[in-house]
């Protein structure tokens, strides 16, 4: 392994708080998975969820199932996305990594054989529990084949080493045969097999540090008058071909992370979006689109303009999520020069960004709960988390990839809104089972039971720090990873064991002292380990000898049993 790749691997290990005892081979597998999946998926994800290397891994070291632009790790998550969007757009990504410098045709064939086995109706080889869980998701997806929006799923195989790929003719022939064989299963719309070396991995690692960027030509525009807090702003129409450069991630789908400040997810084929699609299917509707649609608003924290060339970085679509997705889903029907109403605003003033997003979303039917991402409590949490000393500091990520380019921040200390909602819901609302499943049910509590403006901040920090410490214990082998399916139940049990079952109101002054009992324990490594070990015992008691798996932890009955065991720890 060359010096640069080795240095990037070590930086990755430190960033992810992986133990120094981890072998070079396993570290390289995690590194490759993170780099390559990050290329496809802009949001932060748990590297352990995508790592399948180990015993009975079918020669697959990394695996990601991406549904509608979201990495899914359970059937429930995929079901929720189908319910929300009304369709399935699926990609399977399989990775094999070798820390050596050679490219072996035999190992490439082993990856292909493992992928073919993965999609077989019945396994003929032993498979790890994680492979079996992912096969369950795969089987459910193909059972819903009538919901495939863009045709059958796509399948990508990636073979990565620390060497240099030289387009070896013999290996290229072997790759072509591999692709043909997998395409021959008739399961996929398209199949790719990509060999990557150190240079490509280094580029991918550096790309993972970048904020989202786009370059587009904005010719038909007018410059708006000076506005306080806004550096510059433009209003006009953007041709479809240029618009796709803003919302599309190099042909792999819509960039999900650019809609974080747009408070609603894509709502699928609801009546409004359905009418928009029907309109775009007609020549008249396409011709009138620029005058019938409110358009799209882009807010860029960095904007550089040369003539009609716009270079936007660290940007968000704050209004136009539904429009953008409908246009993308119908792009094959549209002419490249179709005009889309488009507004560009350059500002790094967070107050202004919040005001723009709120104002533009007020023009449609958005509820108070939908606007939680813009509320003052989010800003307070961000400041509160960073106010602690280095060892106790966390970074609350209000917007996607907010800390991607920051130097010296451990990834595990970054708390996304999703992590906060799940951890807080489990620890302080006793919703361990809902936090484990796809968290739509918890999101419905935002604005009332979660992120309530009257809530004290201490419980949110306590839940987040507990999540951080538990992940640290998992990664360092002090808590067996076998308990990971019940991670949110462990947080729930931890609170009852450490602070007691009787909890003050989340808006009461007394909750500050109650939450402090939790954080005081978490700041003591010995007490933390002891309390989490007691929480593991509560999980064991709740299981009653049954096997801990993804299904067991997703029901209310299991949560009730854990609570009962945690209230009377042995």
pLDDT digit string, tens, across residues 380-419: 888 899 899 888 999 998 766 667 666 677 888 889 888 9
Residue 469 sits at φ, ψ, to 5 deg, of -65, -40
pLDDT at 225: 84
C-alpha span between 564 and 544 (Å, rounded) = 13
- 318-375 pLDDT, tens digit per residue, is 888 888 988 998 888 889 999 999 999 998 877 777 777 666 654 444 444 444 444 6
Q: Say whether both 26 and 119 belong to one domain.
A: yes
pLDDT at 140: 95
Q: Say whether both 321 and 203 belong to one domain.
A: no
Q: Structurally, how many domains does the chain consist of?
A: 3
Q: Token pair for residue 141?
A: 């997806």
pLDDT at 265: 53
Residue 267's pLDDT band (cuts 50, 70, 90): low
- 205-243 pLDDT, tens digit per residue, is 887 776 678 899 999 999 988 888 889 999 999 999 999
Q: Say whether both 74 and 146 belong to one domain.
A: yes
Q: Say whether both 244 and 383 belong to one domain.
A: no
Q: Say whether both 347 and 407 belong to one domain.
A: no
Closest CA to 44 of 420, 347, 346: 420
Q: Which strand ranges, in their side-by-side order, compose the sheet holding 154-161?
A: 70-72, 62-67, 90-98, 154-161, 190-196
Q: Say whether both 426 and 409 belong to one domain.
A: yes
Residue 555 sits at φ, ψ, to 5 deg, of -120, 150
- 416-472 pLDDT, tens digit per residue, is 888 999 999 999 999 988 888 766 677 778 778 888 888 999 999 999 999 999 998
- 52-106 pLDDT, tens digit per residue, is 988 899 999 999 999 988 888 888 889 888 887 788 999 999 999 998 888 888 9
Q: Token pair for residue 130?
A: 């994680």
pLDDT at 191: 94
- Across the range 150-177, mean pLDDT stands at 92
Q: Say whether both 323 and 434 belong to one domain.
A: no
C-alpha span between 449 and 369 (Å, rounded) = 11
Q: Say whether both 192 and 306 belong to one domain.
A: no
- 478-536 pLDDT, tens digit per residue, is 999 889 889 999 999 999 999 999 999 999 999 999 999 999 999 999 999 999 999 99
Residue 264 has pLDDT above 50, yes or no: no
Q: Say whether both 290 and 177 belong to one domain.
A: no
Residue 46's pLDDT band (cuts 50, 70, 90): confident
Helix axes 321-329 and 271-280, enclosed angle (nearest 10): 50
Last residue of a domain, one of 346, 372, 398: 372
Q: E-strand spans in 290-333?
A: 296-306, 309-319
Last residue of a domain, one of 207, 229, 264: 207
Residue 163 has pLDDT above 60, yes or no: yes
Q: Say whether both 234 and 202 belong to one domain.
A: no
Residue 279 has pLDDT above 70, yes or no: yes
Q: Token pair for residue 114?
A: 């493992």
Q: Say whether both 274 and 288 belong to one domain.
A: yes
| Full domain range(s) for residue 34 | 3-207
Q: What is the CATH number of the domain that holds 186?
A: 3.40.91
C-alpha span between 485 and 470 (Å, rounded) = 12
Q: Say whether both 402 and 480 belong to one domain.
A: yes
What is the DSSP secondary structure assignment for residue 117, as one 8-state letter?
Answer: H
**Which of 174-178, 290-294, 383-387, 449-453 has the highest average model confidence (pLDDT)?**
174-178
Last residue of a domain, one of 345, 372, 399: 372
pLDDT at 518: 96
Residue 262's pLDDT band (cuts 50, 70, 90): very low
Residue 251 has pLDDT above 60, yes or no: no
């Amino acid at each position: 392994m060359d010096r640069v790749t080795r240095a990037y691997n070590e930086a990755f290990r430190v960033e992810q708080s992986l133990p120094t005892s981890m072998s070079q081979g396993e570290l390289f597998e995690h590194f490759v998975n993170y780099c390559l999946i990050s290329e496809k998926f802009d949001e932060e994800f748990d590297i352990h969820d995508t790592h399948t290397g180990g015993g009975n891994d079918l020669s697959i070291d990394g695996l990601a199932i991406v549904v509608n632009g979201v990495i899914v790790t359970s059937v429930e998550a995929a079901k929720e996305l189908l319910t929300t969007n009304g369709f399935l757009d699926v990609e399977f990504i399989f990775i094999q990594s070798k820390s050596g410098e050679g490219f072996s045709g035999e190992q490439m064939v082993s990856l292909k054989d493992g992928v073919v086995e993965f999609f077989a109706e019945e396994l003929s080889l032993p498979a790890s529990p994680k492979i079996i869980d992912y096969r369950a998701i795969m089987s459910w997806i193909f059972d819903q084949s009538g919901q495939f929006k863009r045709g059958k799923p796509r399948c990508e195989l990636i073979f990565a080493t620390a060497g240099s790929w030289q387009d070896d003719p013999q290996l290229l022939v072997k790759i072509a045969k591999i692709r043909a064989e997998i395409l021959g299963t008739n399961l996929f719309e398209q199949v790719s097999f990509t060999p990557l070396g150190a240079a490509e991995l280094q580029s991918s690692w550096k790309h993972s540090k970048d904020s989202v960027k786009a370059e587009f030509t904005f010719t038909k525009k007018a410059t708006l008058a000076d506005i306080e807090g806004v550096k510059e702003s433009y209003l006009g129409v953007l041709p479809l071909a240029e618009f796709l450069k803003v919302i599309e991630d190099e042909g792999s789908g819509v960039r999900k992370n650019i809609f974080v400040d747009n408070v609603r997810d894509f709502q699928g084929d609801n009546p409004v979006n359905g009418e928009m699609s029907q309109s775009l299917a007609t020549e008249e509707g396409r011709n009138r689109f620029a005058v019938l649609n409110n358009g799209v608003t882009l807010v860029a924290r960095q904007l550089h303009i040369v003539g009609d060339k716009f270079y936007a970085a660290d940007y968000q679509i704050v209004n136009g999520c539904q429009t953008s997705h409908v246009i993308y889903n119908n792009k094959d029907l549209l002419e490249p020069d179709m005009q889309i109403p488009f507004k560009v605003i350059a500002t790094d003033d967070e107050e202004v960004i919040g005001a723009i997003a709120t104002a533009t979303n007020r023009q449609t039917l958005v509820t108070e709960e939908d606007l939680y991402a813009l509320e003052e409590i989010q800003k307070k949490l961000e400041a509160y988390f960073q106010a602690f000393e280095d060892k106790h500091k966390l970074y609350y990520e209000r917007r996607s990839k907010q800390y991607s380019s920051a130097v010296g921040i451990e990834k595990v200390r970054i708390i996304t809104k999703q992590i906060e909602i799940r951890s807080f819901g489990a620890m302080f609302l006793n919703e361990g089972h809902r936090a484990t499943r796809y968290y739509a049910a918890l999101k419905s509590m935002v604005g009332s039971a979660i992120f309530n403006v009257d809530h004290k901040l201490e419980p949110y920090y306590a839940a987040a720090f507990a999540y951080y410490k538990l992940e640290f214990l998992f990664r360092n082998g002090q808590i067996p990873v076998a308990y990971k399916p019940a991670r949110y139940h462990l947080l729930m049990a931890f609170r009852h064991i450490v602070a007691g079952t009787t909890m003050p109101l989340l808006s009461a002054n007394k909750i500050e002292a109650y939450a402090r009992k939790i954080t005081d324990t978490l700041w003591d490594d010995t007490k933390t380990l002891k309390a989490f070990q007691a929480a593991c015992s509560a999980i064991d008691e709740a299981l009653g000898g049954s096997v801990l798996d993804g299904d067991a932890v997703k029901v209310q009955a299991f949560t009730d049993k854990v609570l009962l065991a945690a209230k009377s720890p042995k």
